[in-house]
Amino acid sequence: MARDSIDLRQKILPACERRRGSQQAMAHLCGVSLSFVENLLRRHRTTGDMAPKPHGGGPRPRLDAAAQAQGRRRVHEQPEATLAEFCTRAVAMTGSRVSVPTRCRVVRRLGVPRQKHLSPRRRATPSRSSTRGQATSH
């Protein structure tokens, strides 16, 4: 959600202080909610500031820096392993249990490429290019 600009806050605050209209009328005129106007006025009264509060930071990561570093080493050591295998190894090594999507986000955040390179002998089905041009018997 985008924060409302300082310009808008600088217009609402003096208008409400000069009693140019009710808080509800100011909210409607400026295209914001009544609670925004109320919170802006309360914040200005209590702190003297009208700037938006800083971002709260969001939820804490499930894996700490040490676990992420260990995960990065494992991905480099065994690039062909699946994310599910990394998850089961993480539980055994660190005791932190995470889901496959969470592990995928961690690997992406680390900037580690995860492209699989399966050799032709390990593929379950032959590639399409190897079957083209061959005569089929009916």
Q: Is the pLDDT of residue 4 over 70?
A: no
DSSP states of 16-27: HHTTSS-HHHHH
73 in Cβ contact with 80 (< 8 Å): no
Taking CA atoms, 62 is separated from 57, 89, 93, in Å, by 14, 16, 15
Domain enclosing residue 103, as ranges: 65-110
What pLDDT does 53 receive? 82
Residue of 113 and 22 predicted with greater confidence? 22
Any residues with CB less than 8 A from the CB of 73 and at least 6 apart, and which? none
What pLDDT does 129 receive? 60
Q: Is pTM beyond 0.75 here?
A: no
Q: How confident is the model at residue 3 (pLDDT cuts 50, 70, 90)?
A: low
Q: Is residue 88 part of a domain?
A: yes
Do 106 and 70 sit in the same domain of this protein?
yes
Do 39 and 13 sit in the same domain of this protein?
yes
Q: Is residue 53 part of a domain?
A: no
Question: Tokens 């290019």 sit at which residue?
Answer: 129
Q: Is the pLDDT of residue 79 over 80?
A: no
Q: Is residue 13 part of a domain?
A: yes
CA-wise closest residue to 36 among 47, 56, 50, 48: 50
Q: Is residue 124 part of a domain?
A: no
Q: Is residue 11 part of a domain?
A: yes
Do 69 and 41 sit in the same domain of this protein?
no
Could you give the residue ranges of the DSSP H alpha helices within 2-137? 6-17, 23-30, 34-47, 65-77, 83-94, 100-110, 128-131
* Residue 26, burial from CB neighbour count under 10 angstroms (0-12, 13-18, 19+): buried
Condensed to tens digits (0 to 9), the pLDDT of residues 38-51 reads: 999 999 999 988 88
Residue of 82 and 42 predicted with greater confidence? 42
Q: Is residue 125 part of a domain?
A: no
Do 43 and 11 sit in the same domain of this protein?
yes
Q: Is residue 29 part of a domain?
A: yes
CA-wise closest residue to 104 among 114, 94, 117: 114
Q: Is residue 138 part of a domain?
A: no
What pLDDT does 76 receive? 79
What pLDDT does 1 receive? 39
Do 102 and 69 sit in the same domain of this protein?
yes
Q: Domain tally for the chain? A: 2
Condensed to tens digits (0 to 9), the pLDDT of residues 14-38 reads: 888 888 888 898 888 888 999 999 9
By mean pLDDT, which of 16-30, 71-85, 99-113, 114-128 is the weakest?
A: 114-128
